[in-house]
């Protein structure tokens, strides 16, 4: 089962409480406060993983809580900090704040990591230097651990592919991807056989040595029908997976079994793409006439060829059953991808993602200690003077 959307709640671990204790030990004439600090709560990270291709696990398990820090103990024993929790997501996942709708992160590369919730700081014990003063040598103050950050998140998966296959149901998309790649989608002689996107890696130069040939990723999408942007059929919920592609292959059935006008079919799908996103309508496109082996009357085929020529679109006629025209189509896709630069938006997102990953990787205990020691919960000299009267004050 394929899932491309999910909502989850993440709650980082709470910090442990500081301890109030005094050292009483034989042969130690000067004891003093010895309460240890509480440990920090564990953070919750999201990490991109190439081995994942669905958000299904987050459909049924929606709450994730980080490990809390242990409480401080006597003899200046600090509590153990909670371990971090790492949730893996597929590459291509976009992370949003569910309450504000703000985009937090875009996982475009394997191994990218984002801290979704920060663990709470551990409370300080009475042995902490901030509490001990020359005029206040036996403090009984301590701090409770701070709560971990809690967030509602929305995950949206947009598959990363170079070429997207679109068309009417039963146009031959699944058969084509099974012919040019190792993908094995369900294939049957009835509409809407494909209910979820399928990805396949295609080699355009099979005769080249290992690692030298051109390869690209093709996405097979469920079929579209007229009115899909209004919810007809499977709707357009899967078209978001084409937004990241650089090239669209529009498959049109020109066989004798199809009594519809292929040009009209092309215009309907083009309208559905434009209704979903104007960016899809502007993407480079290759028109592919399918089921050539089942085409005896080539009138529709030639009409579609002439229509593509008028529109300035590259045209190919193929038969996935016999293999006719497949090699030429694959090489044409590879050549087109060589000419199409990668979108600048994707580069900017990648830089943003790298910067965010670097900033999030700095969330260690040391940085948290240094940050919090200068801000939250500090006891200044003035506060100490007010809290503990000096000897001789009335």
Over residues 130-159, the pLDDT tens digits come to: 887 878 878 888 888 899 999 999 988 877
Better pLDDT: 339 or 373: 339
Mean pLDDT, to the nearest integer, of 117-124?
Answer: 90
The pLDDT value recorded for residue 237 is 63
What is the average pLDDT across 183-211? Answer: 68
Judging by DSSP bridges, how do beta strands 285-290 and 247-253 pair with one another? parallel
At 47, the pLDDT band (50, 70, 90 cuts) reads very high
pLDDT for the residue 389:
34
What is the pLDDT of the chain when averaged over all its residues? 77
Instruction: Supply the range of the domain harboring residue 27.
Output: 5-157
Same domain? 146 vs 211: no
Quick one: 240 and 141 in the same domain? no
Say if residues 31 and 82 touch (Cβ distance below 8 Å).
no
Sign of torsion over alpha carbons 317, 323, 327, 333: positive
The pLDDT, as a whole number, for residue 46 is: 92
Cα–Cα distance, 11 to 118 (Å, whole number): 8
User: Which range has the worst mean pLDDT, 95-109, 249-263, 296-310, 362-376?
Assistant: 362-376
- Mapped onto helix, strand or coil, the DSSP state of residue 181 is coil
* Structure tokens given for 138: 């036996």
Q: How many domains does the chain divide into?
A: 2
Please state the rounded mean pLDDT for residues 341-358.
48
Do 198 and 107 share a structural domain? no
For residue 386, is it within any domain?
no
Q: Per-residue pLDDT for 363 more than 50?
A: no
Tell me how far apart the alpha carbons of residues 22 and 38 are, in angstroms, rounded to a whole number: 16
Q: Is residue 83 part of a domain?
A: yes
| Structural domain contains residue 82 | yes
The tokens describing 135, both together, are 């005029």
pLDDT digits (tens, 9 = 90+) for 266-320: 888 888 888 877 887 788 889 998 888 888 888 888 888 999 899 888 999 888 8
Using only C-alpha atoms, the chain has a radius of gyration, in whole angstroms, of 31
The answer to whether the beta carbons of residues 174 and 184 sit under 8 Å apart is no
The confidence band for 211, taking pLDDT boundaries of 50, 70 and 90, is low
Confidence at residue 165, expressed as pLDDT on a 0 to 100 scale: 87
Residue 257: per-residue pLDDT: 82
Q: Token digits for 109?
A: 């590369």
Same domain flag for 232 and 292: yes
**Band of pLDDT at residue 345, cut at 50, 70 and 90:** very low
- Is residue 82 within 8 Å of residue 67, measured between CB atoms? yes
For residues 26-32, average pLDDT: 73
pTM: 0.65
Q: Are residues 169 and 140 part of one domain?
A: no
pLDDT at position 114 is 93
SS3 293: helix
The answer to whether residue 382 sits within a structural domain is no
Q: What does the pLDDT read at residue 235?
A: 56
Confidence of residue 233 (pLDDT cuts 50, 70, 90): low
What does the pLDDT read at residue 191?
57
Q: What are the strands of the beta sheet with 247-253, ordered from one edge?
A: 198-203, 215-220, 163-167, 247-253, 285-290, 314-317
pLDDT of residue 185: 66
Q: Given 126, 157, 188, which residue is the final one in a domain?
A: 157
Domain harbouring 89, CATH code: 2.70.210.12
């Amino acid at each position: 089962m394929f899932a491309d959307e999910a909502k989850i709640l993440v709650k980082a671990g709470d910090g442990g409480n500081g301890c109030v204790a005094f050292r009483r030990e034989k042969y130690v004439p000067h004891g003093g406060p010895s309460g240890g600090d509480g440990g920090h709560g564990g953070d919750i990270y999201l990490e991109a993983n190439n081995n994942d291709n669905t958000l299904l696990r987050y459909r049924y398990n929606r709450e994730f809580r980080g490990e809390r820090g242990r409480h401080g103990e006597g003899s200046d024993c600090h509590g153990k900090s909670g371990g971090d929790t790492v949730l893996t997501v597929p590459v291509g996942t976009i992370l949003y704040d569910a309450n504000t709708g703000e985009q937090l992160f875009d996982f475009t590369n394997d191994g990218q990591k984002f801290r979704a919730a920060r663990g709470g700081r551990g409370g300080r014990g009475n042995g902490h230097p901030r509490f001990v003063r020359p005029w206040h040598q036996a403090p009984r103050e301590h701090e409770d651990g701070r709560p971990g950050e809690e967030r509602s998140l929305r995950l949206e998966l947009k598959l990363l592919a170079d070429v997207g296959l679109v068309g009417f149901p039963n146009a031959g998309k699944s058969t084509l991807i099974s012919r040019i790649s190792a993908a094995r989608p369900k294939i049957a002689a009835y509409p809407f056989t494909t209910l979820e996107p399928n990805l396949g890696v295609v080699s355009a130069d099979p005769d080249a040595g290992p690692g030298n040939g051109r390869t690209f990723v093709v996405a097979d999408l469920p079929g579209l029908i007229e009115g899909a942007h209004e919810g007809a059929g499977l709707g357009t919920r899967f078209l978001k997976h084409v937004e990241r592609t650089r090239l669209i292959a529009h498959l049109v059935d020109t066989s004798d079994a199809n009594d519809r006008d292929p040009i009209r079919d092309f215009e309907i799908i083009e309208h559905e793409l434009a209704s979903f996103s104007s960016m899809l309508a502007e993407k480079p496109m290759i028109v592919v006439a399918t089921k050539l082996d089942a085409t005896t009357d080539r009138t529709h085929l030639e009409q579609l060829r002439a229509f593509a020529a008028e529109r300035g679109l590259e045209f190919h006629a193929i038969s996935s059953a016999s293999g006719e025209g497949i090699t030429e189509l694959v090489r044409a896709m590879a050549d087109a991808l060589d000419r199409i630069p990668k979108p600048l938006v994707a580069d900017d997102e990648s830089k943003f993602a790298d910067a965010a990953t670097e900033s999030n990787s700095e969330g260690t205990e040391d940085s948290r200690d240094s940050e919090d020691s200068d801000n939250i919960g500090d006891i200044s000299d003035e506060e100490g003077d007010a809290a503990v009267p000096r000897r001789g004050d009335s």
